[in-house]
């Protein structure tokens, strides 16, 4: 049976374990079943190394709760990185170690980016990478994921599909579900699967002009984890970070409560396998925290 949960927002915690405990207590109060922990939001990894003392303190907090856990790796993590690949590999490995320590069976990873969001300003006006370059980066990521998935067989690494950006897409192969599926097939490991981010896929379907529901159906056999949040589908430029200015125009990766946007959530969920038994994690921005219960209720009505 699937479990409904919510992420701990790294903006809300900002390294505070008191904030972690506060939000966990609230999730328990509103009968949440699962929680996604941002390892980067708790300062558990420092300079590529897991801080065991910090992890011990986190586990002391978690032991008082009966949630099922998933872990989100740091957003900038990129196994395609060529400037400092050893550091990225170390951070990935430390993220997997953290997942094992907290008893999480799922680690979410933002798929490798040919061009990272942090360097978009450098690449403005430059041509996209040639196909041969992209192939090398895909192979590089695939080798690393193959190695790490063998080292940590009890954790399922879930590659998350990406949102598009005006002017810079395709900066990531995972903007298109068929390309993400292709990478998963090449890696061909039982514990390397997909996080279906419904909000990101909605934006990509509008940006690239493919059918949202057909896309879900095409990749559903690879889905082991689901992120739920709503939007209206409009893409933005990378520098348009302030969501409050974009929502009036139906633009941006809004991460709104389920039911606030235009995504046909019931139809999307109906495309998943009927025996899906993973988590539905609501990935809401911190500004919507007070609406977490409403979002949960809306999601329940979609799933039942």
> Phi and psi for 227 in degrees, rounded to 5?
-105, 125
Residues 164-170, mean pLDDT to the nearest whole number = 94
Q: Does the pLDDT at position 148 exceed 90?
A: yes
pLDDT at 285: 96
CA proximity to 234, closest of 198, 204, 268, 264: 204
**Number of C-beta neighbours around residue 22 at 10 A:** 13
Tokens describing residue 42: 């708790």
Q: What is the mean pLDDT of the chain?
A: 96
Q: Torsion angle, CA of 196/217/250/239, rounded to 10 degrees?
A: 40
Band of residue 211 on the pLDDT scale cut at 50, 70, 90: very high
Residues 295-300, mean pLDDT to the nearest whole number = 98
CB 96 within 8 A of CB 155: yes
Type and span of the H or E element at 15: none
Pairing between β-strand 45-46 and β-strand 34-38 as defined by DSSP bridges = unpaired
Helix, strand, or coil (residue 218): helix
CB 106 within 8 A of CB 71: yes
**pTM for the whole thing?**
0.96
Tokens describing residue 7: 């992420």
Type and span of the H or E element at 226: strand 223-228
CA proximity to 141, closest of 101, 170, 195, 180: 180
pLDDT of 52-94, one tens digit each?
999 999 999 999 999 999 999 999 999 999 999 999 999 999 9
- 32 CB burial (10 A radius; 0-12, 13-18, 19+): buried
Answer CATH for 3-303 from 3.40.50.300, 3.30.390.10, 3.20.20.150, 3.10.50.40: 3.20.20.150
pLDDT at 122: 82
Q: Does the pLDDT at position 242 exceed 90?
A: no
The better pLDDT of the pair 122, 275 is held by: 275
Q: Does the pLDDT at position 127 exceed 70?
A: no
pLDDT at 124: 63
CA proximity to 190, closest of 151, 156, 142: 156
pLDDT at 176: 97
Long-range Cβ contact pairs of 84-92 (< 8 A, separation 24 or more): 85/140, 87/48, 89/144, 89/148, 90/48, 90/49, 91/45, 91/48, 92/144, 92/148
All structural domains of the chain with their residue ranges: 3-303
Tokens describing residue 117: 């969001």
Residues 216-236, mean pLDDT to the nearest whole number = 98
pLDDT at 219: 98
Residues 149-164, mean pLDDT to the nearest whole number = 98
Band of residue 268 on the pLDDT scale cut at 50, 70, 90: very high
Band of residue 125 on the pLDDT scale cut at 50, 70, 90: low
CA gyration radius, the chain: 18
Q: How many residues are given for the chain?
A: 304
Q: What is the spatial distance between Cα 240 and Cα 248, in angstroms, rounded to a whole number?
A: 13
């Amino acid at each position: 049976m699937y479990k409904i949960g919510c992420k701990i927002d790294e903006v809300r915690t900002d390294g505070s374990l008191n904030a972690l405990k506060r939000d966990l207590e609230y999730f328990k109060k509103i009968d949440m079943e699962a929680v996604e922990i941002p390892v980067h939001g708790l300062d558990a990894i420092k300079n590529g190394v897991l801080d065991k003392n910090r992890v011990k303190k986190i586990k002391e907090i978690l032991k008082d709760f009966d949630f099922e856990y998933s872990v989100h790796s740091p957003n900038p993590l990129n196994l395609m990185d060529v400037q400092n690949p050893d550091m990225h590999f170390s951070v990935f490995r430390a993220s997997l170690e953290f997942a094992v320590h907290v008893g999480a069976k799922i680690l979410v990873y933002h798929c490798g980016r040919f061009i990272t969001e942090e360097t978009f300003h450098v690449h403005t006006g430059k041509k996209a990478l040639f196909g041969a370059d992209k192939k090398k980066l895909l192979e590089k990521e695939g080798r690393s994921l193959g190695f790490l998935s063998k080292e940590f067989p009890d954790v399922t690494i879930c590659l998350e599909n990406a949102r598009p950006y005006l002017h810079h897409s395709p900066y990531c192969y995972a903007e298109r579900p068929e390309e993400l599926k292709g990478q998963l097939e090449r890696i061909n490991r039982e514990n390397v699967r997909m996080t279906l981010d419904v909000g990101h896929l909605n934006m990509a379907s509008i940006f690239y002009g493919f059918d949202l529901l057909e896309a879900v159906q095409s990749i559903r056999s690879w889905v082991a984890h689901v992120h739920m949040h709503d939007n209206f589908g409009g893409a933005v430029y990378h520098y348009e970070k302030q969501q409050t200015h974009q929502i009036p125009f139906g633009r941006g990766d809004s991460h709104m409560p389920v039911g606030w946007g235009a995504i046909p959530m019931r139809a999307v969920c109906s495309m998943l396998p009927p025996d899906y038994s993973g988590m539905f994690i609501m990935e809401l921005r911190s500004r919507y925290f007070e609406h977490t219960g409403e979002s949960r209720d809306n999601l329940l009505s979609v799933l039942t």
